[in-house]
Structure 1
């Protein structure tokens, strides 16, 4: 390559950003119309965004959206380093930025970098609008599907700004033709521009990437374990067949088959409750678990399977654990498998291969950076621990934020710190789950190792893109012979090729996409082609008496998509912190919304459902409870008669009607109908007069104790009666705790673990 040339633009600092012809070409196309740019990882999608941004900044502010806080911080730092504008005019929005502060920051900003959920919330709360935004850049644009925030933001942008320009950027939009079209439609994309490693203008910037597939044999002892688990699986499939849910010829079910069958059963149950369907759903839950155990045995090894069975055992013993887990762990063949597992050699051929490959890489090139990808957290921990035994390897586990049984996640701050230490060389090997696949500013690596293949072409492309960026790289994919590893590998390979074919043909289809409803209406009525905003104003002038009903929505409900659905239905939504209820549509009607999962959780976790209902009754003349979703009697292990008892009490003792809805859109349609009925054609002022009943001291004390694991309301009361205060409960020894009724060794141990365990936040 010739001497480096830099981008020369008044809004870009001199000698900061390398100029590449393909990036200039892509940006030029993106400035003509709303465009989706598909460019392999490491080839500067952010630079294309920068070029589009500086061309649009004279017309108004630019909004850059990225899915996670680390990505947002990364983008903000880049733009502050290279843009020749005041750093104060480049603002960063995340959920931790107070909403009122965001309003003033938005007004003074020229560039806003944000997570999409924050912008969605501010648009719904009418704190900001997009009229002055000259361009929106959607990073990882393939996420723009379903109810993801990108979809809502793009729709509002199209409504509010007649001179809109959208830029979507991604390394891998996927192979599904309809999914890519959906992304383009949702973002109002008119054109797709793609570059691959083989394009002539990209080739000079591509380094060799050696891809190697290495087979490992499944140990004999794993095959023995698999036979025991196969016996259990065959038994459950036969029982499912006897119930008539599958044909006698189906000897196995794929994951997709199981999900489809589960959906059909749930649908049947909602229309016709039947004991046979309950039994079928429970059997299917066992099939899910045992199929997963078989896959772990084949692809992850003995130690990972042992951890999985440990979690199943914990679930089986837990008060809130599933019957499926309990039955599986009581099955004789599973008990044999667990016993056999204890005596197995934990020597794992894949772990040995990882140690050999990584050890050789570090020996030959001590300054190497390596990423090992695995699908499971347990495996990430096992691999990291195993690599500590090899001289020269400094491994670190890199996982997401969620925490579960004996598995603590990483905060975003910890993730950023680990990446920095990886860059600095304190760690040279990152053992990561999917959290390291997308977008994060991880330095160019010398080796990417897949512990197992993955069926997703999007994730496979993102993983491979972590090497061969600034110098030659290497990809090694481990596969267990005769396991799902092979199927996943060829599935991903086929989808990658399909994606390239789909992308090449997509522009032709975008050019002939059907006209929008507005365009058809204009043609039929022969209206002049006014900007959409003017047409809306004319309509409002003609019908001044028609006022949209107003709905007050509790701020916490923003996590659902009911608010967005209500707005689409033409209602005027107002976000507030409501003391009582989730939705208020008139002085007399307040609505509490619970998903099935949330409703069941209130019963199992001892939360004060009846207190919420009581407040609703005291505050509103016409209170209403909406329960949203399916599987009320099957989603969690709660006795159906207990659920019926609670519903009966709410309806009869409290006099609160209960309406069931299918999903968020159905809930919104119900609330819309009620609001229109209550308010008519004129907007009536609604008095938000409800106040939540404060918890008594006794209730607060019971709440604190019952919030600990393994402790429900009854045990909490027993502990407080026995010891007299929260302080005395916390100071009690294990033996003293076990003197209390219903407190056994396990519960006592969990209390002591919470009270005395070191805080690792």
Structure 2
């Protein structure tokens, strides 16, 4: 009997045959399924088997959340299929018209979900003849993630739909698993663990170690000082009486974020001074909480960098008011001074070096991943580990950049991974970007710089080792800190998840019991009750929707408003995504809409880049009936005077003649836009794009360029340009000359000189 899969479309001797994978694939072909299998046990091979079985029924769409994962899956399919040309890869880098042509020609399309969502909303593609959609990392199918929209469209459009969701960790919360299943129209859950008899032969041993460390008293004293400031702010919150229960100073970050969401929602419904003050104080609380976490679990350098960042925000005119108030607190300033004078270090960096050195000396060809939650810690570790010539470490972070921390492009990420595989680097120090879906089969050890309270992230981290050979997992924990709490939270959640998945896998393979009916999506009950009736119902719904589609009101929506585009389509509008030079929505040849949340409106008054009045002027000049939708009630929650905001509103309505329609929230906004579209269609007006943005004046371009420097806002930029006369002279000025300008102190001057004078290390 062959030990490899045999299929007319497969190259011989390329894919090893494993019975548990075949069993899971067979189950997935019977109904839309969620397959939960530990990392490294061939989820992609299971997807391949289902894909091969469905190709004769139509085309296949394989979705993965990131471009590197898309490239990885496409490369695998091309490697094992006889005809590589059957596989097409689509990412945002491909031009829309090329994507449309590629989609029409492909039998197997591998893509990021954002690209597919964009092309569906732009009506470049449809899902009618797709016989299978594979959702990799299916645990992402919650909230507003693109998977949810694509699955909903597929259920509506597909003539013979089948969904396969694959993940190593759907989460421990019953409600979240239910949401994933509902969102993807999952009818069946199948799972395997490393302990199952048919899986065990393919599992490599994974040694898990916990290293407990003692944080120096001096650093804990700094933590205690920050906690005193935190307790003061919590007391201020409790005195406001804005929370239904008294807030405990030991509240978790999750609880604080929940309170923040509640307050923000309350502010939108009914603005009052206490709520806005509470939101402001809570912003301070979250910053202080973060400082405490860094002091306990990260190290002195990471905490010092954070203090410097808070200080930079405090002195910047466009910076955080919360940071400013924290920096004005005498207790906090004393904690900052104590940190600067500190002569001891957090024990974690030294322990990392010790563990890495021992691993490399024992096994010189080792590949090691170090995970940390924070970029500052990753950077600090890189500098610290340079002292050991055996350790060739590289930082692996995401794409986003900030003033003092440049991200990595996907091309650079791929290059680093290749050099890591080749041995040019033997240690990869990664943030969360390294947790999910990286193809590094030969990692010998994973080191957690800190535990994480998420079972999904913990499983993903541990799954980076023990794939192709035995592996080692080391978790650092600082005694008496949230490290220990996070570890036990994650451990408990992981055990709960495994128990849930075993239970649900058994339920989904039988007639649903009362408990499974309460849990699994509603369509499972209908399908098992009467499959023919369910099929007829689906066909009738599709016919009804198709007929309605022909009569739908049309609208152009800017791609930046993708979330609203989904809502509008759900309300029956025929949405086309289009880059709009003027406005956010074009309803007809005469009506265009600019939508701003209350906070956006205030920000666009003071931000020269977002210049409210230029946007409104372009709208009024280009369309006969322009409209501004102002969404939300928290218009006066920022540090902008009420008279300035009222003056801007008056100018929009009177000077530019643009009516302002207030709305409560996104749903309310969608209702207003839908009504406008219906009115325009009844009046015989079809959507038509026209108008162009007004170009910035030279003066505005100069101000914008200087204001883009960190800590330099529009006001300071204007003062600098008036003083020196040109951008060239501002850049050439010395630190002392810069400080001659009003509002420019030593720190701003230093930031300017650092930006223009430090060598570029690209």
TM value normalised by structure 2: 0.92
Structure-2 residue corresponding to 1:609 = 612
Structure-1 residue corresponding to 2:138 = 141
Q: 2:228 aligns with which of 217, 227, 231?
A: 231
Structure-1 residue corresponding to 2:670 = 668
Q: Deviation at 1:723?
A: 5.2
- 1:626-659 CA-partner distances (Å, limit 9, x unpaired): 234564444x554454334323332343332333
CA contact (8 A) 2:136 2:167 kept: yes
Q: 2:625 aligns with which of 606, 622, 634?
A: 622
- 1:615-634 CA-partner distances (Å, limit 9, x unpaired): 21223333221234564444
- 1:189-219 CA-partner distances (Å, limit 9, x unpaired): 1111101000001000111111111211121
Greater CA drift, 94-103 or 702-711: 702-711
Q: Deviation at 1:178?
A: 1.0
Distance (whole Å) between structure 2 residues aligned to residue 529 and residue 409 of structure 1 = 49
Q: Deviation at 1:581?
A: 1.1
TM value normalised by structure 1: 0.92
Q: Deviation at 1:323?
A: 2.1
The 1:379/1:651 distance shift into structure 2, 3 A limit, reads same
Superposition pairs for residues 639-678 of structure 1, below 5 Å? 639-678=641-680
Structure-1 residue corresponding to 2:573 = 571
Structure-1 residue corresponding to 2:157 = 160
Structure-1 residue corresponding to 2:415 = 417
Greater CA drift, 638-647 or 374-383: 638-647
Q: Deviation at 1:706?
A: 3.8
2:710 maps to 1:688: no
2:540 maps to 1:553: no
RMSD (Å), alpha carbons: 2.8
Q: Deviation at 1:539?
A: 7.9
CA contact (8 A) 1:311 1:405 kept: no
Q: 1:385 aligns with which of 383, 386, 390?
A: 383
Q: Deviation at 1:8?
A: 1.4
2:371 maps to 1:373: yes
Structure-1 residue corresponding to 2:17 = 19
Structure-1 residue corresponding to 2:305 = 307
Distance (whole Å) between structure 2 residues aligned to residue 22 and residue 486 of structure 1 = 36
The 1:356/1:56 distance shift into structure 2, 3 A limit, reads same
Q: 2:199 aligns with which of 195, 199, 202?
A: 202
Structure-2 residue corresponding to 1:83 = 81
Q: 2:590 aligns with which of 588, 591, 612?
A: 588
Distance (whole Å) between structure 1 residues aligned to residue 49 and residue 307 of structure 2 = 53
Greater CA drift, 526-535 or 99-108: 526-535
Distance (whole Å) between structure 2 residues aligned to residue 527 and residue 449 of structure 1 = 53
The 1:287/1:741 distance shift into structure 2, 3 A limit, reads closer
Distance (whole Å) between structure 1 residues aligned to residue 525 and residue 81 of structure 2 = 39
CA contact (8 A) 1:320 1:637 kept: no
Q: Deviation at 1:139?
A: 0.5
The DSSP-based 3-state class of the residue aligned with 1:223 is helix
Greater CA drift, 363-372 or 666-675: 666-675
CA contact (8 A) 1:207 1:469 kept: yes
Structure-1 residue corresponding to 2:292 = 294
Distance (whole Å) between structure 1 residues aligned to residue 184 and residue 674 of structure 2 = 26
Distance (whole Å) between structure 2 residues aligned to residue 21 and residue 727 of structure 1 = 69
Q: Deviation at 1:568?
A: 0.9
Distance (whole Å) between structure 2 residues aligned to residue 661 and residue 349 of structure 1 = 53
Structure-2 residue corresponding to 1:318 = 316
CA contact (8 A) 1:162 1:532 kept: no
The 1:266/1:303 distance shift into structure 2, 3 A limit, reads same
Superposition pairs for residues 453-602 of structure 1, below 5 Å? 453-507=451-505, 511=512, 512=517, 530=536, 532=538, 536-537=542-543, 547-558=551-562, 561-602=563-604
The 1:136/1:342 distance shift into structure 2, 3 A limit, reads same
Q: Deviation at 1:721?
A: 4.9
- 1:702-753 CA-partner distances (Å, limit 9, x unpaired): 4444444444444444555555555555555555555555555544444444
Distance (whole Å) between structure 1 residues aligned to residue 323 and residue 662 of structure 2 = 29
Superposition pairs for residues 664-743 of structure 1, below 5 Å? 664-680=666-682, 684-721=685-722, 725-727=726-728, 729-731=730-732, 734=735, 737=738, 742-743=743-744
- 1:644-686 CA-partner distances (Å, limit 9, x unpaired): 4323332343332333444433322221122123323x86423
- 1:399-438 CA-partner distances (Å, limit 9, x unpaired): 1111123221111111111111111111111111111100
- 1:37-76 CA-partner distances (Å, limit 9, x unpaired): 1110011111111111111122222111111111111111
Distance (whole Å) between structure 2 residues aligned to residue 754 and residue 349 of structure 1 = 33
Q: Deviation at 1:220?
A: 0.8
Greater CA drift, 165-174 or 53-62: 53-62
The 1:480/1:716 distance shift into structure 2, 3 A limit, reads closer
Greater CA drift, 69-78 or 731-740: 731-740
Distance (whole Å) between structure 2 residues aligned to residue 44 and residue 295 of structure 1 = 37
2:95 maps to 1:94: no
Distance (whole Å) between structure 1 residues aligned to residue 33 and residue 433 of structure 2 = 27
Distance (whole Å) between structure 1 residues aligned to residue 312 and residue 486 of structure 2 = 30
CA contact (8 A) 1:581 1:590 kept: yes
Q: How many residues align structurally?
A: 749
Structure 2 residues not aligned, in runs of 5+:
none
Structure-2 residue corresponding to 1:260 = 258
Structure-2 residue corresponding to 1:125 = 122
Structure 1 residues not aligned, in runs of 5+:
none
The 1:584/1:652 distance shift into structure 2, 3 A limit, reads same
Q: Deviation at 1:25?
A: 1.1
Q: Deviation at 1:36?
A: 0.8
CA contact (8 A) 1:625 1:659 kept: yes
- 1:363-384 CA-partner distances (Å, limit 9, x unpaired): 1111111111111111112222
Greater CA drift, 577-586 or 136-145: 577-586
- 1:524-554 CA-partner distances (Å, limit 9, x unpaired): xx9996474566547877x99x822111212
The DSSP-based 3-state class of the residue aligned with 1:214 is strand
Q: Deviation at 1:516?
A: 5.6
